[in-house]
Chains A and B, each alone.
Chain A
Amino acid sequence: MWDAYLFEFVNFYLIPGLVLGCIYALGAIGITLTFGILRFANFAHGEIMMSGAYLTWTVMAIAGYAGLTLHPLVAMVPATFLVILLFLGTDRYFYKPFRKEDTIKVVMASFGMMLIIRSLVQVIWGPNQIAFVRGIAKPNEALRDFTGNIGAMIIMPNKHLFIFAGTLIIVVALGYLLNRTRIGKAMRAVSDSPDLAHVTGINVDNVIRATWIVGGICAMAAGVFLVMDTQMLETTMGFRMLLPMFAAAILGGIGKPYGAVAGGLIIGLAEELSAYPWIGGAPLLSPGYKTGVAFAIMVVMLIVRPQGLFKGRSF
Chain B
Amino acid sequence: MKNTLMATAATLFATSALADVNIGNPMAMTGPIPDLNAPIAAAVDLAAANVNAQGGMFAGGEAFNIIRADSACDPVAAVDAVTKLINVNGVSAIVGPVCSGATIAQAESVAMPAGVVTLSVSASSPAITSMEDGTDLVFRAAASDAYQGVALAELAMANGYTDIAVSYANDDYNAAIAAVFAEAFEGMGGTVTANEAHEPNKASYRSEVATLGGTSENLALFSYYGSGGITLMRNALETGAFTNFIGADGMLSDELIEQLGAENLMTSTFTTSASDSSTPSFAAWQAIADEAGVPAADPFVANGYDATFMMALAIEHAGSDDRATIAESLRAIASGPGEVILPGQWAEAKAILAAGGDINYEGAAGNQDFDENGDVAGNFSKSTIVDGAWAAELIQ
A162 within 8 Å of B (CB atoms): no
**Chain B residue at smallest Cβ distance from A234:** B226
Indicate whether A283 sits within 8 Å of B196 (C-beta atoms), given known contacts A134-B259, A136-B261, A232-B259: yes
Give chain A nearest CB distance to B98 CB in angstroms. 13
**Which residues of chain B have C-beta atoms less than 8 A from A229's C-beta?**
203-204
B211 within 8 Å of A (CB atoms): yes
**Which residues of chain A have C-beta atoms less than 8 A from B205's C-beta?**
287
**Chain A residue at smallest Cβ distance from B167:** A287
Contacting pair A287 B239 (CB below 8 A)? no
Give the distance in Å from the alpha carbon of A288 to the alpha carbon of B196 in the complex: 8
Contacting pair B197 A13 (CB below 8 A)? no
Give chain A nearest CB distance to B108 CB in angstroms. 23
Give the distance in Å from the alpha carbon of A192 to the alpha carbon of B29 in the complex: 46
B34 within 8 Å of A (CB atoms): yes
Indicate whether A287 sits within 8 Å of B204 (C-beta atoms), given known contacts A127-B34, A129-B226, A135-B260: no
**Chain B residue at smallest Cβ distance from A4:** B214
Give chain B nearest CB distance to A147 CB in angstroms. 16
Contacting pair B199 A272 (CB below 8 A)? no
Chain A interface size, under 10 / 10 to 19 / 20 to 34 / 35 or more? 35 or more
**Chain A residue at smallest Cβ distance from B30:** A127
Query: What total of chain B residues lie within 8 Å of the partner, measured CB to CB?
Result: 36
Most chain A CB neighbours (cut-off 10 Å) among B196, B203, B206:
B203
Indicate whether A232 sits within 8 Å of B30 (C-beta atoms), given known contacts A135-B260, A289-B199: no
B394 within 8 Å of A (CB atoms): no
Contacting pair A287 B196 (CB below 8 A)? yes
Interface stretch of the complex, out of B61-69, B115-123, B229-237, B276-284: B229-237
- Which residues of chain B in 185-210 are interfacial with respect to chain A, using CB atoms and an 8 Å cutoff? 196-199, 201-210
Give the distance in Å from the alpha carbon of A139 to the alpha carbon of B209 in the complex: 16
Contacting pair B210 A231 (CB below 8 A)? no
Give chain A nearest CB distance to B170 CB in angstroms. 5
Contacting pair A291 B199 (CB below 8 A)? yes
**Which residues of chain A have C-beta atoms less than 8 A from B260's C-beta?**
134-136
B159 within 8 Å of A (CB atoms): no
**Chain A residue at smallest Cβ distance from B264:** A136
Most chain B CB neighbours (cut-off 10 Å) among A128, A155, A272:
A128
B35 within 8 Å of A (CB atoms): yes
A-binding residues in B (CB < 8 A): 29-31, 34-35, 170, 196-199, 201-211, 214, 226, 230-231, 234, 237-239, 255, 258-261, 263-264
4 A-B pairs besides A11-B239, A12-B206, A237-B203 with CB distance below 8 A are A12-B209, A16-B206, A127-B31, A287-B207
